Amino acid sequence: MELTVIPENNVAESLFACLLSIVDEIDQLYGQKESIEDIGQQEELITYATRAFSIKQNIKKAIEEEIQVNIESIDEIEEIVEKVKGIFEDFLKPLNGKEILIFAIYKTILLREDVLGSYHSFSNLEYKDIDYIDSNGFIQPEVNGDYSELIVCLPPVHSKDEMNQFLEGLNISILYALLSAIDLTGMPESDNIVLLGEKAKVEKNQLVSYIKLKKISEGAILHNNHFYGKDIAIGTNITWDINNPYQQFDEIMLVLSEYNQQKQILDKYLKIYQVLENFKYRSKIATLIDEYGEKMFSIRRFTSLYSMIESSESDELKKLIGSILSFQISPTLTFQQLLESEWNTFKSTPGMRISDLKKELVVIGCKTDPAISSKFLSSIIYSLRNSIAHNKETEVHLTHGNLGDFPLLKEFIKEFLMPTLEKIVFTLLIEKNELIWYKRPHLLLFK
C-alpha cells in the first residue's frame, strides 16, 4: 500500500501534509471493508474510517483558518493506526513503523508557540539506518542556517520516553527538519536511524566513529556499566587484635579506601592489584628485617634487596602466591584448602563451562589450565592486570566496553577472583604474620 503525498499549497498545508497523508490512508480503508470476513472487524474498520474522515476535516479547517491543530487529534490518529494494524498487518508498511516518530514530532511541534509563522521546509536531508544505539540521542546542529552537515542521531524509535525527551530538547528548526525529511514512500527499516545533511552522508562505520568521538569530547560515557556490588569477603576465621601495629598499613588502607570507592569491576580490580603489588615488595623487606634483626644493614644487602625487587614481576608474583597458598589461616586450614573448596563450588555454578572459560582466559594472555595453583593464580592475576592497564595493539585491551564479550571471564572475576583476593588481602592485613608484617619499624644502618 503506497501513501499519497498531499500537495503543499501553503505553509500550514505543508506542515501538516504528512499527517493528512496518514489520515487519508485510514479514510480510504472504508473501501476495503468487504475484503474482511470477520463482521466485527468490518464494523471496527468502518468506525476507524469514519473517525479518520472527521479528523481530516477538522485538520483541513484548522489549516484554512490558520489556527492550531489540536494535539488530541494526533493522539486519536495514533490510536486508530495501532488498531488498524491489528486488522491490516501491512498498513503503512513503507514507513516501517516510523509513524511513531511522525506523531511524536508533531506533538512536540504543537507544544511550541507560533508554529505556522516559523515553519520552513528543507532539501537534501535524508534518513539512514545506523549501527549505533544511544538512548540519549546525538545532534550536530546547523551552522548559521547551513544544514549540509546536520546530524541528528535519534534514540531507538520505539523507545517512546527517550524519544520524547530528546525531541523536547530540540529547537523548532531541527524539528521541522526531522518532519520535512520524512519519506512517505519508504523509511529505513531499522529502529535506529539518523537524519543527515548532504555533507554528512558518509560510510556507516565512519559516521558512527565520528559521533562517538564527538560525544566523548563533550563528556559523554559510551561504555556499559559492569558493577561489583558484593560485600567485602573477609572470611570467618579472622581474629582482630587492637594491640597489633596496624599503623604500618596506613598507606595500604588509603588504597583500599579507593577500592571501596570504585564501583565498576575492572577499576576495583586494579586497586586490589595495587595492594598485591605492595605485598610482593613487603614480603621481601619483611624477610630481610627478620634475617638481620638488630644487625647492621650493609650496602651489599641494599644491592641484594634491589635485585630481588627488580626481578621478573610475574615470577615474584608467583612466589608470593605460592607463599599465600601455604599460609595457615587456622590450625586446620590453609589458603590452598580454602580456595580448592571454593573453586569446586564455583565450577559447579549453572552455566559455568570451564573449557569455555579457558578459551576466554587465553584471549587475555592466561594460557595456564585453571586450577588452585601458584602458576595459574599468578598467571590470571598478572594477565588480567595487563589486559586492563595496557593498551598495546598486539594484545586484547579489556574495557567496560568489551567485557560483555567475555561472559564467563566476567563471571569468574565477579564470583571467584575478586572474593578470593579480598580474603587474601584482609586476612594478611588483619592477622599478624611473617609474610608481609614488619617486626620492627627501622633497619639498623650504623651503630
Grid cell digits, residue 318:
608467583
433 SS3 class: coil
d(CA 154, CA 172): 16
321-365 tens-digit pLDDT:
999 999 999 889 999 999 999 999 999 999 899 999 999 999 999
Q: Give me the phi and psi of 284, to 5 degrees please.
A: -70, -45
Which pLDDT does position 270 carry in this prediction?
A: 96
Q: What separation in angstroms does the CA of 250 have from each of 61, 114, 260, 278, 429?
A: 79, 66, 15, 12, 11
Alpha helices in 181-227 (DSSP H): 204-217
Q: Kindly state the DSSP code that residue 330 receives in the 8-state scheme.
A: E
The whole model's pTM is what?
A: 0.72
Tell me the torsion sign for CA atoms 17, 22, 27, 31.
positive
Report which of 152, 235, 133 is spatially closest to residue 194, judged by C-alpha positions. 152
Which pLDDT does position 415 carry in this prediction?
A: 96
Beta bridge partners of 153: 138, 194
* CB contact at 8 A, 5 and 24: no
pLDDT in single tens digits along all 447 residues of the chain: 344 333 444 667 778 889 999 999 998 888 887 788 788 888 888 999 899 999 999 888 888 877 778 889 999 999 999 999 988 889 999 999 999 999 999 999 988 876 665 666 778 899 999 988 888 899 999 888 889 999 999 999 999 999 999 999 999 989 999 999 999 999 999 999 999 999 999 999 999 999 999 998 988 888 888 999 899 998 777 889 999 999 999 999 999 999 999 999 999 999 999 999 999 988 888 877 766 556 555 656 656 655 665 666 788 899 999 999 999 998 899 999 999 999 999 999 998 999 999 999 999 999 999 999 999 999 999 999 999 987 665 568 899 889 999 999 999 999 999 999 999 999 999 999 999 998 876 655 556
d(CA 59, CA 67): 9
Q: 249 exposed, middle or buried (CB, 10 Å; 0-12, 13-18, 19+)?
A: buried
Strand ranges, E, within 79-196: 126-129, 138-140, 151-153, 193-196
d(CA 394, CA 99): 47
How many other C-beta atoms lie within 10 A of the C-beta of residue 108?
Answer: 21
Task: Name the amino acid, one letter, at 317.
Answer: L
Q: 240 exposed, middle or buried (CB, 10 Å; 0-12, 13-18, 19+)?
A: exposed
7 SS3 class: coil
Strand ranges, E, within 52-205: 126-129, 138-140, 151-153, 193-196
Tell me the torsion sign for CA atoms 419, 425, 430, 434.
positive
| List of residues 6+ apart from 414 with CB closer than 8 A | 228, 230, 265
139 SS3 class: strand
Q: What separation in angstroms does the CA of 234 have from each of 117, 222, 284, 339?
A: 69, 34, 25, 13
Report which of 398, 405, 407, 408 is spatially closest to residue 346, judged by C-alpha positions. 408
Q: What separation in angstroms does the CA of 53 have from each of 50, 60, 239, 346?
A: 5, 11, 82, 65
d(CA 348, CA 343): 9
Report which of 21, 340, 393, 14 is spatially closest to residue 180, judged by C-alpha positions. 14
Q: Which residue has the cell 604474620?
A: 433
58-74 tens-digit pLDDT:
888 888 877 778 889 99
